[in-house]
Structure formats: structure tokens, C-alpha cells
Amino acid sequence: MSKPPNDFEKAASESQGSLASEFIGFLKQNKKFWLLPLIIVMLLLAGLLILSSTAAAPFIYTLF
């Protein structure tokens, strides 16, 4: 006879969300919406750094 699953086993068997959905859930639950612009700016800067080391660099410099 098997025991009924406890809360830990129930949580482990549920499907896991993506990193983005987990982060959005964190923002909603903790009411930390002020973090969103900071994250967006950091992602844009990271994208710019990545593109500056590729063949797209000459095209990026013409934008500035």
C-alpha cells in the first residue's frame, strides 16, 4: 500500500515554468515592479556588448 504524496512530492511532479515566467511571478508576488526597467536596460546593454564583438559592429556605430 503506497502512502499519499506529501506537498514536496506534489511540487516536484508539477511542470516547471521558464525563467522568465518565474521572474514575472516573483515581481507580481513581491510587488517589485521597479526592478523591471533595470532588468530591461541591463539586457539591452548586454545585447549591445554582444553585437559589438560581431560583424554587426560597424552598423551599430553609425547609430550613434
DSSP E strands in 1-64: the ranges are none
Count Cβ atoms within 10 A of the Cβ of residue 62 and give its class: 0-12 exposed, 13-18 middle, 19 or more buried.
exposed
Q: pLDDT digits over 33-45, tens only?
A: 888 899 999 999 9
What pTM was estimated for this model as a whole? 0.55
Cell of 27: 515581481
Q: Give the range with max mean pLDDT: 9-13, 25-29, 32-36, 40-44.
A: 40-44
